[in-house]
Amino acid sequence: MSPESFCERWCDDEDEVLIAFPAQSVAGLSIPETSREFLKSAGLPDSAAPFLDFQAPESGVLPDVSEKWNQDPSFQRYRIIGNNGSGDPVCLDEAENGRVVYLNHDLNFKPVLINSSITALAESLLIYRQFVRDCQEQNGEDAWLDCDISEALLVRLNHDLTRIDSTGISPGCFWSMELERLREGDS
């Protein structure tokens, strides 16, 4: 997915906002050039379901978890791009080619894979946003929050997320846990 395509698709609603990352915030990071360009050109949504928020630094390079969360130097590889609904940092993992992870602060900052790349994250967020809209269309405004979701929509979401990034839907990863949460009805 190109940055332009993501911008066009995400901003189909004037209320949707993308946060572009300043060039200096990603300069010199050990991530693919395509990820750097994507973050600079398109950016990420300020907020996206399921309970993800993204923010770019006003100046300087993306902060690392060792500095921001007072962790040992081994956490310097994790560059913070946002957080999840539990307050865990969402990061780019420089040691893993820019994989997108969150670090579970309740489990000693154990990394949990979200997506294998920024572009896979962007496409997954688009798919998930459409999934939420479809849930609401089928069962009302609160359907997604209430986990009032048809099995057909869950099957389609699983299929679409697997097509985008089969690694991110593996057991123990963010998207597979989200599907579990939805199936169990926990909001």
Nearest in space to 102 (alpha carbons), one of 161, 57, 50: 50
Nearest in space to 110 (alpha carbons), one of 166, 177, 43: 177
For residue 185, the Cα-to-chain-centroid distance in whole angstroms is 21
Q: What angle do CA 36, 105, 171 make, to 5 degrees?
A: 75
Q: Return the structure tokens found at 52.
A: 């993800």
- Provide the pLDDT for residue 186: 53
Long-range contact list for 88-93, CB < 8 A, 24+ apart? 89/65, 90/52, 90/54, 90/114, 91/65, 92/29, 92/31, 92/35, 92/62, 92/118
The structure's pTM equals 0.94
Q: How confident is the prediction along the chain (187 residues), in pLDDT tens digits per residue?
A: 899 999 999 988 767 889 999 999 999 999 999 999 999 999 999 999 999 999 999 889 999 999 999 999 999 999 999 999 999 999 999 999 999 999 999 999 999 999 999 999 999 999 999 999 999 999 999 999 898 999 999 999 999 999 999 999 999 999 999 999 999 875 4
